[in-house]
Amino acid sequence: MKIIMKIEMKNGKLVVPDYPAIGYIRGDGVGEDIFPQAQKVFDAAVLKIYGQKKKIEWQKLLAGGEAFETCGEYLPKETLAHINENLIAIKGPLMTPVGESFRSINVTLRQKMDLYACVRPVEYFKGIKSPVKAPEKVDMTIFRENTEDIYAGIEFASETNESHNLLKFLEKELNVHSIRFPKTSALGIKPVSPEGSKRLVNAAFEYALKMNKKRVTFVHKGNIMKFTEGGFRNWAYEVAREYPTFTKLEYDEIKNERGSLQAENEKKAALKSGKIYVDDVIADNFLQQIILNPENFEVIATLNLNGDYISDALAAQVGGIGIAPGANINYKSGHAIFEATHGTAPDIAGKNIANPSSLILSGVMMFEYLGWQEVAELIKIALSFSFRNGNLTADLGGKLSTSKFSDVLIDFIKTY
Ligand code: NAI
């Protein structure tokens, strides 16, 4: 007899029953088109790998427009309670309510669950058009800090009491006199802490070890923002010391003391012995480097705003947001929300033409997180096969509808 059970976190490890209850938020706009199709693909892959032994017990959760229509709230507390209790959920895109007190339902979900790592793997699939010459060189996973930085939302509008009071405080108490137009400036605050930075960097290293990655790069703007972004860099290097690594700091120290040749030799020896090479790159240079030499990077750890820019820039290099997956994870509590990274695409919603790949690849990340590795691999093989053979949706230059595209995947899975 099958027993639906909760996923639990025990001694720092995720314990996944054979019939786990997983909440899903269908999403607004194209969410209605892509979610049911993606779900069929997930179920077909689980059935193929495990037969009746394992199955996802989907539990519908309300959020966004659908929730507002049904119960007058964009993010009902039942939805939050379910994710809190059951740890894992997967979601389609949600519209951002205009003129509401909170900025976005996605941001609220991340904050409420303290989902501190935004994980975005970016890899190229053959058959997909790309604006760059060698997209196959892109194979990176971005770990973006998800709870701090300017996303904390501490901002005061131009010419308000709040910004004037803050300005007075800055001038009187902190002797700040460098604001160019003090009377009219809007002001914002950028909190970055060692705790927030280190837990994110830890997650990046754990991932690098698990996935056998050889390089971790910290991306920051510490040359300008010494204590926030520079702090992130320094705390990140502190975390690197807890792992089998050879860092650029060590390299530079050897180079200064004993010369370049020695530094190069020691780096080579360290990498040969299986250590991870760790360095840091200033964010603006990094945006050049991912176009010029993307093969040099594997795992990226960065702050919230940098991560936002980098994720979309890299997604564009491999074919756009229609195929970029994402996850927001708290590795300590186990809470995780997997999500399509694009929006509700109102221009194509309801037409059965949206690309479900971003959501399907988010599902791949979910299965990896659950430890159902074979399911994840099978879905990825099906996607590769489909793209390689020109089975594409309109956004990628193909002719397939959302449902036809998922039928191709399901047929492949059934006969694999
Ligand atoms: P969008 O991502 O919805 O659309 C941008 C462009 O990409 C449009 O041309 C759209 O047709 C296309 N596109 C997006 N997803 C696609 C898919 N799966 N297949 C084919 N083409 C696709 O961004 P936009 O228009 O800025 O936002 C619309 C709404 O979505 C807003 O309310 C916004 O707040 C929300 N949003 C939600 C996100 C989430 O839930 N994670 C993320 C981004 C935006």
* Per-domain boundaries in the chain: 1-123+325-415, 130-143+193-318, 155-188
pLDDT digits 0-9 by tens, 301-324: 999 999 999 999 999 999 877 888
Contact call for residues 372 and 42 (beta carbons, < 8 A): no
Burial (0-12, 13-18, 19+ Cβ within 10 Å), 77: exposed
**Which pLDDT value is given to residue 105?**
86
Contact call for residues 83 and 61 (beta carbons, < 8 A): yes
Distance separating alpha carbons of residues 107 and 328, to the nearest angstrom = 10
Confidence bin at 101 (pLDDT 50/70/90)? low
pLDDT digits 0-9 by tens, 368-404: 999 999 999 999 999 999 999 999 999 998 999 999 9
Determine whether 308 is an active site residue. yes
**Which pLDDT value is given to residue 108?**
86
Q: Is the CB of 117 under 6 A from ligand 1?
A: no
Determine whether 411 is an active site residue. no
How far, in Å, is the centroid of ligand 1 from the Cα of 49? 33
Determine whether 284 is an active site residue. yes
Q: Is the CB of 354 under 6 A from ligand 1?
A: yes
Check residue 373 and give left, alpha or beta (phi > 0: left; psi -120 to 50: alpha). alpha
Q: What's phi and psi for 57, nearest 5 deg?
A: -95, 95
Distance separating alpha carbons of residues 368 and 385, to the nearest angstrom = 20
pTM above 0.85, yes or no: yes
Q: What's phi and psi for 157, nearest 5 deg?
A: -70, 160
Scored b (16 or more CB within 10 A) or e, 267-290 reads beebeeeebbbbbbbbbeebbebb
CATH no. for 130-143+193-318: 3.40.718.10
Q: Is the CB of 25 under 6 A from ligand 1?
A: no
How far, in Å, is the centroid of ligand 1 from the Cα of 310? 17
Structural tokens at position 105: 């339902």
How far, in Å, is the centroid of ligand 1 from the Cα of 311? 15
Task: Return the axis-axis angle of helices 105-112 and 77-86, rounded to nearest 10°.
Answer: 40
Confidence bin at 247 (pLDDT 50/70/90)? very high
CA distances to 291, 314, 315, 395 from 131, in Å:
10, 11, 11, 14
The SS3 of residue 22 is strand
- For the cut 60, the answer to whether the pLDDT of residue 31 exceeds it is yes
Mean pLDDT of the chain: 94
**Which pLDDT value is given to residue 153?**
82
pLDDT digits 0-9 by tens, 58-78: 999 999 999 999 999 999 999
CATH no. for 1-123+325-415: 3.40.718.10
Do 1-123+325-415 and 130-143+193-318 come out as alike in CATH topology?
yes
- For the cut 80, the answer to whether the pLDDT of residue 354 exceeds it is yes
Confidence bin at 264 (pLDDT 50/70/90)? very high
Q: Is the CB of 23 under 6 A from ligand 1?
A: no
**Which pLDDT value is given to residue 2?**
58
Burial (0-12, 13-18, 19+ Cβ within 10 Å), 80: middle
Among protein residues, the one whose CA lies closest to atom 44 of ligand 1: 343
Pairing of β 57-60 and β 8-10? unpaired
**Which of 97, 46, 93 is CA-nearest to residue 68?**
97
